[in-house]
Amino acid sequence: MTYPRTLAEGEVMGGRASGIETWGETNQGLISPKMAVRNPSLIAPTIRYDIETVTVVVDLSKTGDVPMSALADYIALVTLAQIDPRERFDGQSTVLNMFNEPGRYASMTDWDVDYIHAVYAADLTRNSVRGHQAEVARALVARRQARFAENSDKAPE
């Protein structure tokens, strides 16, 4: 029986991740993710992606009247959560909608902060994309519920 090749600890991956072009170290590119491989297993994923560097090029002539603070938060959220910038977040109050709803967002919203926390707090030991999505959703719901409970405990001013 042959198994797929396992990349070595620290080996640079190329290709596309979440709609963002990724390049290896030698290309001096946009994102240079490093990969860490832990104990090989067929039950749990054994790969961890580390982003070493990110270079973002913005054509300010296409950003319209978007506040610079909102643009910086948008770039940070898309980069850190590895979100495809073409993805739609209709119905959510998020800085990711700032180009669809001009003038509404000046910075990250509570939803954005909760989402980025959920992405990094989620237990991503599942072997499927759906499992990862479910875990991030679970972490997001838990964080949102905690935020609402905290705000409802405060006395009105």
Is the residue at 45 inside a domain? yes
**Across 5-9, 17-21, 43-47, 138-142, which has the greatest mean pLDDT?**
138-142
The widest CA-to-CA distance across the chain, in whole angstroms, is 68
CA-based radius of gyration for the chain: 18
Domain count, the chain: 1
How far is residue 132 CA from its own chain's centroid? 12
Domain carrying residue 30: 7-55
What pTM value is reported for the model?
0.65
Is the residue at 50 inside a domain? yes
Amino acid at 73: D
How far is residue 142 CA from its own chain's centroid? 18
Candidates 45, 15, 19, 47; CA nearest to 32 is 15
Helix (H/G/I), strand (E/B), else coil: 116: helix
Looking at residue 48, what is its pLDDT? 64
